Amino acid sequence: MPRDSHENKGLYAYFAENPDEAHRQFFEPAPGLSRRGFFAGAGLTAAGGLLGMTIPFYGNMPPGLVPAAFASEDVLVGKDGLTLLNDRPINAETPAHLLDDAITPTARHFIRNNGLPPEDAGAAGWTLAVDGLVENPMELSIADLRARFEVVTMALTIECGGNGRAFFDPPAEGSQWTFGAVGCAEWTGVRLADVLKKAGVKPGAIYTAHYGADTHLSGKAGEPPISRGVPIAKAMTGNVLIAFGMNGGPLHKQNGAPLRLVVPGWPGSCSQKWLTRVRLRDIVHDGPKMTGTSYRVPAYPVAPGDEVPEDDFEIIERMPVKSLVTSPETGAAAGRNVEVRGHAWSGDRAVSAVDLSIDFGRSWMAAELDGPVNPGAWQDWRRRVAFPEAGYYEVWARATDSAGEMQPFAIDWNPKGYLNNTMHRAALRVA
Interacting residue ranges for ligand MTE, rule: CB under 6 A: 109-115, 158, 160, 212, 214, 225-226, 255-256, 268-269, 271-274
- Rounding to the nearest 10 degrees, give the CA dihedral for residues 64, 65, 69, 74: 50
The minimum distance between CB 252 and Mo ion, in angstroms, equals 16
Please, which residues have CB within 8 angstroms of residue 428's CB and are 6 or more apart in sequence?
328, 330, 332, 333, 334, 338, 387, 392, 393, 394, 395
Per the CB < 8 A criterion, the answer to whether 83 and 103 are in contact is no
* CB of 214 or CB of 355, closer to ligand MTE: 214
* CB of 114 or CB of 379, closer to ligand MTE: 114
- Residue 268 in contact with Mo ion, rule: CB under 5 A: yes
Number of chain positions touching Mo ion (CB under 5 A): 4
**Residue of 269, 357, 407, 414 interacting with Mo ion (CB under 5 A):** 269
* CB of 256 or CB of 372, closer to ligand MTE: 256
Per partner kind, with CB cut-offs from 5 to 8 A, the member of ligand MTE, Mo ion, none near residue 111 is: ligand MTE
The minimum distance between CB 38 and ligand MTE, in angstroms, equals 46
- The helix/strand/coil state of 84 is strand
Torsion sign over Cα 267, 271, 274, 279: positive
**CA-based nearest residue to 179, from 10, 330, 394:** 330
- Residue 416 in contact with Mo ion, rule: CB under 5 A: no
Q: Which amino acid would we find at residue 38?
A: F
User: Residue 267: is the preceding peptide bond cis (ω within 30°)?
Assistant: no
- Residue 277 in contact with Mo ion, rule: CB under 5 A: no
The minimum distance between CB 60 and Mo ion, in angstroms, equals 37
* CB of 25 or CB of 175, closer to ligand MTE: 175
- Residue 6 in contact with Mo ion, rule: CB under 5 A: no
- Residue 325 in contact with Mo ion, rule: CB under 5 A: no
User: Residue 309: is the preceding peptide bond cis (ω within 30°)?
Assistant: no
The partner residues of 418 in beta bridges, in order of sequence, read none
Per partner kind, with CB cut-offs from 5 to 8 A, the member of Mo ion, ligand MTE, none near residue 271 is: ligand MTE
Could you give the count of Cα atoms lying within 13 Å of 147 in the half-sphere of its Cβ?
A: 5
- Give the span between the Cα atoms of 182 and 281, in whole angstroms: 29
Which 281-320 positions form the footprint of Mo ion (CB under 5 A)? none
> Could you give the C-alpha distances from 124 to 1, 116, 140, 196, 262, in angstroms and in order?
40, 21, 12, 23, 21
* CB of 277 or CB of 398, closer to ligand MTE: 277
* CB of 76 or CB of 226, closer to ligand MTE: 226
Site string for Mo ion, 158-177 (x = CB under 5 A): --x-----------------
Q: Which amino acid would we find at residue 317?
A: E
- Give the span between the Cα atoms of 280 and 30, in whole angstroms: 54
Which 86-115 positions form the footprint of Mo ion (CB under 5 A)? 112
Residue with the CB atom nearest Mo ion in the bound state = 160
The partner residues of 398 in beta bridges, in order of sequence, read 355
* Interacting residue ranges for Mo ion, rule: CB under 5 A: 112, 160, 268-269
